[in-house]
């Protein structure tokens, strides 16, 4: 079985949407990526850090999806990373209320020996210095390295982030962040500028408007599934990265044609994520759900000329 290495935050999230409010539930980029990728039956491990306040039951819920959590370090005297956000009525605009890095400031990621040769590596949303540290520990020169990031790190660690971008094969970034990173309004121009920074593939996530894949002179567009009810978009971007990387790990084919399928897999997984609060839907996904949803995407995008 091909191996997927995931590095990212494991967090407490408090979320408020027009449909309700949650207090300190399981969150962070890594659980969303891992739970989503687990639908593709890959061998995966998460490298992260939590504090002594992190419930064992949360770790067990991740392990229950065949995700190796032995490299989630527990620093007993520290508090777990905490993030809280509030969505406005249209659910597209999110205000971050709190980002308490807590234990993240002590994080020194150690990649387990068994995963140093992983075929796909997702550097989930995390401090760029930690992402760079992980790249330096990898031993497989053919590994596909996928980077995800967000405005917080552009605001707080831009130079380190630019250095990491140079070293990866794929970047996934949302539309507003692509504009912020490049100071360009057109996503096509922004994608070209990011491509010139190093990655061979640039994926721009557009929330309920789907995602775009760029490489050299090629472009592909995946829609988001039109859903009747969206409860909570938290983690949708990470879930997308999990579906995208899960498909690529399973197939071990990093061509543009296969990236197109990976983009659809990412969109399909993200469509589940938004149906319930936090990672609840991903934790309880029925076995046949992904196959059915992939068919729905096929139907949605096929037409005759």
Q: Which of 234, 245, 267, 271 binds ligand AMP (CB under 6 A)?
A: 234
Q: Contact region for ligand AMP (CB under 6 A) — 40-48, 62-70, 233-241, 253-261?
A: 233-241
Residue 8's nearest CA partner among 126, 164, 169 is 126
> What CA–CA distance (Å, rounded) separates 106 from 246?
29
Q: Which of 45, 134, 236, 265 binds ligand AMP (CB under 6 A)?
A: 236
238 makes contact with ligand AMP (CB under 6 A) = yes
Whether 91 contacts 63, CB under 8 Å: no
Min separation Cβ 218 and ligand AMP, Å: 25
Outline where DSSP puts E strands in 76-180: 82-87, 94-100, 120-123, 144-148, 170-174
Nearer to ligand AMP, 36 or 119 (CB): 36
> What CA–CA distance (Å, rounded) separates 266 from 51?
30
Q: Which of 7, 11, 178, 262 binds ligand AMP (CB under 6 A)?
A: 11
Footprint of ligand AMP on 120-139 (CB under 6 A): 125-126
Nearer to ligand AMP, 150 or 264 (CB): 150
Q: Which of 4, 6, 7, 9 binds ligand AMP (CB under 6 A)?
A: 9
> What CA–CA distance (Å, rounded) separates 44 from 34?
7
Outline where DSSP puts E strands in the chain: 3-7, 11-17, 20-21, 25-27, 43-51, 67-68, 72-75, 82-87, 94-100, 120-123, 144-148, 170-174, 201-205, 211-215, 218-222
Min separation Cβ 195 and ligand AMP, Å: 22
User: Binding mask 103-122 vs ligand AMP (x if CB under 6 A, - otherwise)?
Assistant: --------------------
Report DSSP state, residue 276.
S
Q: Which of 4, 5, 6, 28 binds ligand AMP (CB under 6 A)?
A: 28
Q: Contact region for ligand AMP (CB under 6 A) — 6-14, 132-140, 219-227, 252-260?
A: 6-14
Residue with tokens 């995931």: 6
Q: Which of 40, 54, 58, 83 binds ligand AMP (CB under 6 A)?
A: 83
Report DSSP state, residue 295.
H
Residues that bind ligand AMP (CB under 6 A): 9, 11, 13, 27-29, 83, 99, 125-126, 150, 152, 234-238
């Amino acid at each position: 079985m091909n191996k997927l290495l995931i590095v990212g935050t494991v967090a407490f999230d408090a979320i408020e949407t027009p449909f309700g409010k949650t207090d300190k539930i399981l969150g962070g980029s890594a659980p969303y990526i891992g739970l989503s990728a687990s639908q593709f039956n890959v061998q995966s491990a998460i490298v992260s850090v939590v504090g002594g306040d992190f419930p064992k039951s949360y770790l067990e819920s991740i392990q229950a999806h065949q995700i190796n959590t032995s490299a989630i370090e527990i620093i007993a005297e520290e508090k777990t990373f905490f993030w809280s956000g509030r969505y406005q009525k249209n659910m597209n605009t999110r205000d971050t209320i709190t980002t308490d890095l807590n234990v993240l400031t002590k994080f020194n990621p150690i990649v387990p020996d068994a995963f140093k040769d992983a075929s796909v590596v997702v550097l989930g949303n995390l401090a760029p210095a930690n992402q760079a540290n992980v790249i330096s520990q990898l031993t497989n020169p053919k590994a596909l390295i996928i980077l995800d990031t967000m405005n917080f790190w552009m605001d707080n660690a831009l130079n380190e982030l630019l250095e990491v971008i140079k070293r990866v094969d794929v970047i996934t970034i949302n539309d507003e962040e692509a504009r912020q990173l490049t100071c360009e309004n057109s996503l096509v121009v922004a994608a070209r500028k990011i491509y010139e920074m190093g990655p061979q593939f640039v994926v721009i996530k557009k929330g309920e408007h789907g995602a775009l894949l760029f490489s050299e002179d090629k472009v592909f567009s995946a829609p988001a599934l039109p859903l009747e009810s969206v409860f909570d978009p938290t983690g949708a971007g990470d879930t997308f990265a999990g579906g995208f990387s899960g498909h690529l790990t399973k197939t071990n084919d990093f061509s543009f044609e296969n990236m197109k399928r990976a983009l659809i897999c990412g969109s399909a997984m993200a469509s589940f994520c938004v149906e319930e609060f936090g990672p609840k839907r991903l934790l309880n996904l029925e076995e046949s759900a992904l196959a059915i949803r992939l068919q729905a995407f096929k139907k949605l995008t096929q037409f005759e000329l």
